[in-house]
Amino acid sequence: MSIYAAGVLVSIVVFVLIGAYAGMKVKGIDDYYVCGRNAPTLFITCTLFASMLSTNGFMGDTAFSYGGNITTMLLLNTLCAGGYVIGGLFFGRYIRRAMVNTMPTYFSNRFNSLRIRRLAAMITVASLFAYLISVLQGTGLLMETLTGYSRITCLLIAWVGITLFTFYSGARGSVLTDTVMCLFFLGITIFAGPYVFEAAGGLENLLDTLARNPETPPGLLDYHGNPRGGSEFDMVFYGITMGIIWLVTVAVSPWQAGRNLMARNEHVILRSSVMMALLTVIFLLYLYLMSISVIPVNPAMDQPEKVMIWAAMELMPPLVGVALLAGILTAGLTSACTFLSVVGFSLSSDILNIKFASEKSQLRFTRGMMLLVSLLSLMIASMDMASIRVIAWFASTIIAASWGYVAFASVWSKKLTERGAYLAMAGGFFGYMVAKLLKELAGVPLVNLFDPFFIGVAISIVLGIWGSKGQTKTIEEITYQDKIHQIPASETVAAEYVRSRYYGWIMVAAGVLVSTFLIYYWAIPYNALLSQ
């Protein structure tokens, strides 16, 4: 057995053991669904970042950057980072006040509607089930590369680890493992970076090295990235479109905004939002710089999704490479557990909505749903139908188009009624799906402002306004909306606001420093090279 295969197996064993420990702490539904609503800033930040990054970040996004689109990813991530702050301020802290266990339950209570609850749950299942398949495929691909086992065998190993962990420990295990594994892969990635930069001739010389290398992908260092046969404008608009999608997704999606339901208080939500914005911009910039540093050493890889795997095995000392690969693997495992748990919760609690005799019966049934979902995801992942990145980004778009408008309007609109919310959510979902099918299967050129995402959002807003016209909000809807706008007494401690304000200033300072770095070490030197 190679040292890399041993590292994979040890990672899975440690992962399952942490889950077993966390499972012992589960005392009831609140523990299993929302971690007892007592998670601190570190835990919320780490569970957000671990579930967002996953194998898609380490393998899909790094492949996109390696192929010439690091500037596209920087634009996308900057917009995405704004989504954490906007989401925390204008949505996340309000749904925490609702004291619910799932996002569909929040929509149901807010609009006093069982049909909205089931529709939101079905959208959740459709989106995160696709995401679960994406992460399972990525984890299997990594294990296949490291162990030499067949793809099906690797998928089975990953599936067993993910299912056992989530089945037993639920949200409490997910948060604990996300925190441990997130700190691990953050630390090891930062430590491993210099080995990759050195192989490329040093980070300080990277821009010059890439600019003079004839095998560097076209547009890599330009603001627009690699046009890939299209126009520069289309590439920039693509980055903006996907950035807006991710902004809305992280602000309101059940696997990101839903983590706010676990927060100890609202200040934890605001602080973790700032930390997520910093990680999304700074850490991912560092990761993408690692991926493009491989270009001078190994250009035109046949499978660019393995760029970080190749770097770990060929450019780093064995122990460092093993640790980095273990970090990538655990990022995939933790994300898969998050998606599996949210899908299981939505199926058992929101779609079926069974009245259980006891919490033990509900826990038993929820675990059964998770087992069923994991089996279906394993079957579909084994078919290997699409790339990791394509599946993941398709999944994120469903949520953003379906209930992005409804989520914010549920907090701030005085006119949106139950009928309007239901039509808006359904219209966004089906509008996006139909437009996407027309684009992919019929070849209809839906790009830029006519991207299926924008079509879905436009339909959602129009139907929300039209559906509420002539309607009057019920007393239950008005009362519930007023309730979530009342600041709990526990959130009015002056010292907490002072501390939270520091996080805001840190974010401002970080924005200035990152902008200065990119201008001084990228924009100015590259323009000087172009003028030679």
pLDDT in tens, 100-150: 888 889 999 999 999 999 999 888 888 877 777 777 777 777 778 777 788
Separation CA 235–CA 227 (nearest Å): 6
In this prediction, residue 285 carries a pLDDT of: 95
Confidence of residue 508 (pLDDT cuts 50, 70, 90): very high
DSSP string, 70-81: HHHHHHHHHHHH
Range in 29-38, 145-154, 177-186 the model is least confident about: 29-38
Q: What is the mean pLDDT of residues 427-456?
A: 87
Q: Which amino acid is residue 172, in one-letter code?
A: R
Identify the DSSP state of 258. Answer: G
Total residues belonging to the chain: 532
Instruction: Give me the pLDDT at residue 394, please.
Output: 63
Write phi, then psi, for 281 (nearest 5 degrees): -90, -50
Q: Is the pLDDT of residue 181 over 50?
A: yes
Bigger pLDDT: 515 vs 399:
515
Tokens found for residue 470: 């002539």
Residue 407 has pLDDT above 50, yes or no: yes
The pLDDT of 507-532, averaged and rounded, is 89
- Provide the 10 A C-beta neighbour count for residue 413: 18
Predicted confidence at residue 411, as pLDDT, reads 96
The angle subtended at Cα 5 by Cα 4 and Cα 7, nearest 5°, is 65
Amino acid code (one letter) for 275: M
Residue owning tokens 């990235």: 225
Give me the domains of the chain, ranges plus CATH numbers. Answer: 3-384+493-530 (1.20.1730.10), 403-491 (no CATH)
Question: What does the alpha-carbon distance between residue 468 and residue 419 come to, in Å, rounded to a whole number?
Answer: 6
DSSP state of 358: S
CA–CA gap between residue 288 and residue 286 (Å, rounded): 6
**Spatial CA neighbour of 323 closest among 193, 184, 195, 135:** 184
- Which residue type occupies 395? A
- Name the pTM for this structure: 0.87
Q: Which amino acid is at 83?
A: G
Does 7 or 476 have the greater pLDDT score?
476
- pLDDT band of 36, cuts 50, 70, 90: low
Cβ(300)–Cβ(214) below 8 Å: no
Q: In sequence order, which residues have a C-beta less than 8 Å from that of residue 90 and are 6 or more positions away?
A: 251, 408, 411, 412
Alpha-carbon torsion, ordered 235, 240, 243, 244, to 10 deg: -140
In angstroms, rounded to a whole number, what is the distance separating the alpha carbons of residues 33 and 173?
10
Q: Which of 248, 251, 269, 250 is nearest to 97 (CA)?
A: 269
| Average pLDDT score over residue span 300-316 | 89
Whether 389 contacts 64, CB under 8 Å? yes
- pLDDT tens digits for 138-167? 777 777 877 778 888 888 887 877 777 666
Q: Average pLDDT in the 14-38 region?
A: 64
Average pLDDT over residues 250-267: 88
Backbone angles phi, psi at 39, to 5 degrees: -80, 135
> Do the beta carbons of residue 101 and residue 260 sit within 8 Å?
no
Looking at per-residue confidence, does 528 or 340 come out higher?
A: 528
Lookup result for tokens 């990680």: 279
The token pair at 498 is 């002072």
DSSP lists the bridge partners of residue 428 as none
Grouping H, G, I as helix, E, B as strand and the rest as coil, residue 263 is strand
